[in-house]
């Protein structure tokens, strides 16, 4: 019996995928539910499993782009019944493999000829370049970035934040927080909480323009995207109803997302939607940047590295840990006054976390 395995639908609106890796060889025996390949959609990497035990033969190769529903491979399950049939099938498979190898050699020769054409040797230092195909995920990211630049009136406003109080709380409670909740107390929970407070004060930041460009959609809930770096690029999973979550729940959610992205097990549903995005270039050492809006949202907050700087306070120069913040926003529905006020609200929360995020000093021990 020949079983056909076709490309599954990774999610709504996705029509094609790219084969990112083949985890078994042609002619290999595979077991039911064994992972045989990985496919890249424009949002995530998904695993394909064998639907039955048998010998597997791929009908596509790594790097191919297939439409949803197209044939990926076949599994021959009949050879297990009789030894004679098995031997016959073995010969057929050998012939099949020979043909496959011939085709692969032809493809390799074609690729070699292409590389020869694309390598430009220059002067006595033998300088050259190699052209590589973009992954499906990277193609989609490129398209979205260009779309944002062309279809929005994007501006960026900046501010600096005194991080002393956040660092104090983080250092004081990091061991007890980890012991109590099993997760580290990071900066992101403070910024998520600060953004929610600011979004409530400036609701237009939590809005977007519809596809026709004639209506403003104002969200009354707070789904916060967090940019997380993975092996195949930057992904932005969504913390749903973030305003209802505690510090512990926010940190656990982010940790869970990071593990899933690292292991390529993040789902499409976990990255769909969102009303506002936070990205932290500071983990890579960025001092200052202008983050690009995550469409179709209207604004994004950029965090950066914490650096000690000389700051004048009450007429005296002090060395203070400072973080620069950047808010990129769509000027079509967000005025400069709102953008500046929103960013100042975040600065206010971060510099006075007990007053604006926790409530009182008495709550501290129970809060964390």
Which 3 state secondary structure label does DSSP give 187? coil
**What tokens appear for 15 in the block?**
């029509």
Q: Check 28, 162, 269, 335 and give the catalytic one.
A: 335
Phi/psi for 223 (5° steps) reads -105, 110
Asked if residue 320 lies in contact with residue 162, where contact means CB atoms within 8 angstroms, the answer is: yes
Is 28 an annotated catalytic residue?
no
Is 181 an annotated catalytic residue?
no
Asked if residue 16 lies in contact with residue 46, where contact means CB atoms within 8 angstroms, the answer is: no
**What tokens appear for 272 in the block?**
């769909």
Q: What angle do CA 366, 367, 368 make, to 5 degrees?
A: 95
CB neighbourhood size of 274 (10 A): 21
Angle between helices 188-201 and 336-351 (to 10 degrees): 140
Looking from the CA of 114 toward its CB, the CA atoms found within 13 Å total 10
**What tokens appear for 203 in the block?**
């609701």
Catalytic residues, which ones? 331, 335
């Amino acid at each position: 019996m020949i079983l056909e395995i076709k490309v599954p639908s990774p999610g709504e609106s996705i029509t094609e995928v790219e084969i990112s890796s083949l985890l078994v060889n042609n002619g290999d025996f595979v077991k039911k539910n064994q992972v045989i390949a990985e496919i890249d959609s424009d949002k995530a990497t998904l695993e394909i499993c064998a639907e039955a035990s048998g010998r597997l033969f791929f009908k596509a190769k790594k790097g191919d782009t297939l439409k949803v529903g197209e044939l990926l491979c076949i599994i021959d399950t009949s050879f297990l019944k009789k030894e004679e049939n098995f031997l016959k099938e073995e010969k057929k498979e050998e012939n099949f493999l020979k043909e496959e190898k011939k085709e692969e050699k032809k493809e390799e020769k074609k690729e070699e000829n292409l590389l020869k054409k694309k390598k430009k040797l220059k002067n006595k230092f033998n300088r050259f370049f190699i052209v590589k195909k973009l992954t499906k995920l990277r193609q989609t990211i490129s398209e979205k970035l260009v779309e944002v630049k062309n279809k929005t009136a994007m501006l960026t406003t900046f501010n600096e934040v005194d991080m002393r109080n956040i660092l104090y709380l983080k250092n004081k409670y990091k061991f007890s927080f980890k012991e109590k909740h099993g997760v580290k107390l990071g900066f992101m929970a403070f910024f998520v909480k600060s953004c929610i407070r600011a979004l409530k004060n400036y609701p237009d930041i939590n809005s977007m323009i519809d596809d026709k460009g004639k209506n403003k959609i104002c969200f009354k809930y707070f789904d916060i995207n967090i940019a997380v770096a993975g092996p195949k690029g930057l992904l932005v999973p969504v913390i749903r109803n973030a305003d209802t979550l505690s510090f512990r729940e926010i940190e656990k959610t982010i940790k869970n997302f990071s593990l899933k992205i690292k292991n390529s097990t993040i789902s499409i549903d976990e990255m769909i939607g969102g009303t506002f995005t936070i990205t932290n270039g500071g983990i890579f050492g960025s001092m200052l940047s202008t983050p690009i809006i995550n469409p179709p949202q209207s604004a994004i907050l950029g965090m950066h590295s914490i650096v000690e700087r000389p700051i004048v306070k009450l007429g005296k120069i002090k060395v203070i840990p400072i973080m620069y913040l950047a808010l990129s926003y769509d000027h079509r529905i967000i005025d400069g006054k709102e953008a500046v006020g929103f960013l100042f609200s975040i600065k206010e929360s971060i510099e006075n976390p007990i007053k604006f995020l926790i409530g009182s000093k008495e709550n501290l021990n129970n809060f964390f």
